[in-house]
Amino acid sequence: MGSRSDWETMTHAAEVLAELGVPHEVRVVSAHRTPDLLFQYAEEAVKRGIHVIIAGAGGAAHLPGMLAAKTRLPVFGVPVQSKALNGMDSLLSIAQMPAGIPVGTLAIGRAGAVNAGLLAASVLALHDPAVAKALETYRARQTQTVLDNPDPRS
């Protein structure tokens, strides 16, 4: 994520990954304040064995796009809800990538962070039966919770 202030949002991605048993690391890497670290992180990601990158940033949210520019790994971008523009700035900064350098853009805020974790797990599940099973269990439990609680007043 671009700043420690993004953790309140990005913790939801980390929680989902932990729940699904997906090994992951959590780092602050700023496109603007630590650009050299950003390049190093992206350039070393493949040889470090990373398979998917989830990048959360707010405002002028250049982190996901610049990571994607420097690695062939799938990059999922989470627009953090900014104070000034409610995350519309983050969303557009992340979504409007030029053809040739894709970033999979999620929803603004917590929903985007949760879904980034789930989407990353879905990619890993293609070749990891344990993650596939954990995802199926997660989905089944979610469905059952809705079915078991049809009346919003109780």
Binding residues for substrate: 3, 6, 33
How far is it, in rounded angstroms, from Cα 69 to Cα 60?
16
Q: Residue 23 is inside which H or E element, if any?
A: none
Q: What binding mask, one character per residue, do residues 50-79 give for ligand RP5 by CB under 6 A, x or -?
A: -------xxx--------------------
Closest CA to 138 of 113, 153, 121: 121
Q: Nearest approach, Cβ of 36 to ligand RP5 (angstroms)?
A: 15
How far is it, in rounded angstroms, from Cα 136 to Cα 117?
14
Q: Which of residues 94-133 bind ligand RP5 (CB under 6 A)?
A: none
The phi, psi pair for 152, rounded to 5°, reads: -70, -10
Quick one: which of 2, 109, 112, 117 contacts ligand RP5 (CB under 6 A)? 2
Q: What residues form the annotated binding site?
A: 3, 6, 33
How far is it, in rounded angstroms, from Cα 54 to Cα 106?
10
- 30 lies in the binding site for ligand RP5 (CB under 6 A): yes
Quick one: which of 13, 20, 45, 80 contacts ligand RP5 (CB under 6 A)? 80
Closest CA to 4 of 35, 28, 32, 34: 28
- 86 lies in the binding site for ligand RP5 (CB under 6 A): no
- Name the token pair of 116: 């980034």
In 3-state terms, what secondary structure has residue 35? helix
Query: Which lies closer to ligand RP5 via its Cβ, residue 58 or residue 112?
Result: 58
Q: Nearest approach, Cβ of 14 to ligand RP5 (angstroms)?
A: 16
- 5 lies in the binding site for ligand RP5 (CB under 6 A): yes
User: Which residues have C-beta within 8 Å of that of residue 5, sequence separation ≥ 6?
Assistant: 58
Query: Which lies closer to ligand RP5 via its Cβ, residue 3 or residue 105?
Result: 3
Which residues of the chain form contacts with ligand RP5 (CB under 6 A)?
2-3, 5-6, 30, 32, 57-59, 80
